Structure 1
Amino acid sequence: MSETREARLRRMHMRSMRRGIKEMDIILSRYAEARLAGLSGDDLDCYDALLSENDQDLYQWVTGQRAAPDRFTALIADIAATALGAAQERKTS
């Protein structure tokens, strides 16, 4: 039986919140809240694959310390932009 879109979004949101390091918990849970529901099926597939990556690598990719693999480049840029936007919003509040 295949997973419904709603169940998939819930699963991916939970995996975004329960990472190995706190920084990635915060970054990915905020991204999931802001963007998951609007992603296409292909983008969700990419995000699902990203969730299987090591947190240390993810953190370095999102913060620009290392380049992300080509298949994740656009997604990582979107995650970083979302995180930066959230950080700027908190500063002005």
Structure 2
Amino acid sequence: MSGLTRSSDGLDERRRRILFRSWHRGMREMDLILGGFANSEIEALSDADLDAFEALLEPEDQKVFSWISGSEPTPIEFDTPLFRRICDFHMSGRGLPA
């Protein structure tokens, strides 16, 4: 099961691709964090947010997880308003499956 709870119907190609990649990371924790955020927020993201999200999908899962969990400092190029929104979303528990 991927965890994907929202349909990609009605999304443009870029948002569909980001939604898919968010749920197919390789590390289950990152699927839940990024996928949960994408399920909830993908439609409302600006082009700049989408750029930041796509950049965040490139590093290894363990690295991104260490930034989100605070066990390693977040590199300046990834410490964006979108990254902080993802962290806040994760810490709020809104992305957790029911």
- How high is the TM-score relative to the length of structure 1? 0.82
Offset of residue 78 of structure 1: 1.1
8 Å contact from structure 1 (residues 68, 76) kept in 2: no
- Which whole-Å CA distance do the structure 1 matches of 2:90 and 2:68 have between them? 9
2:44 corresponds to: 38
Unaligned runs of 5+ residues in structure 1 are none
Once superposed, what is the RMSD of the aligned Cα atoms? 2.2
Offset of residue 87 of structure 1: 5.3
Indicate which of 70, 73, 76 corresponds to 1:67: 73
Indicate which of 18, 29, 41 corresponds to 2:35: 29
Larger deviation, residues 74-83 vs 7-16: 74-83
Spell out the pairing of 1:1-93 with structure 2 (5 A cutoff). Answer: 6-73=12-79, 74-86=81-93
2:7 corresponds to: none
Q: Which amino acid aligns with 2:75?
A: P
After TM superposition, which residue ranges in structure 1, 4 or more long, deviate above 6 angstroms?
none
Q: 1:25-49, CA deviations, whole angstroms, 9 ceiling, x for partnerless residues?
A: 1001001011221111111111111
- How high is the TM-score relative to the length of structure 2? 0.78
Offset of residue 75 of structure 1: 2.6
Larger deviation, residues 29-38 vs 16-25: 29-38
Which is greater in Rg?
1
8 Å contact from structure 1 (residues 61, 76) kept in 2: no
- Which whole-Å CA distance do the structure 1 matches of 2:37 and 2:66 have between them? 16
- Which whole-Å CA distance do the structure 1 matches of 2:15 and 2:56 have between them? 14
Offset of residue 53 of structure 1: 1.0
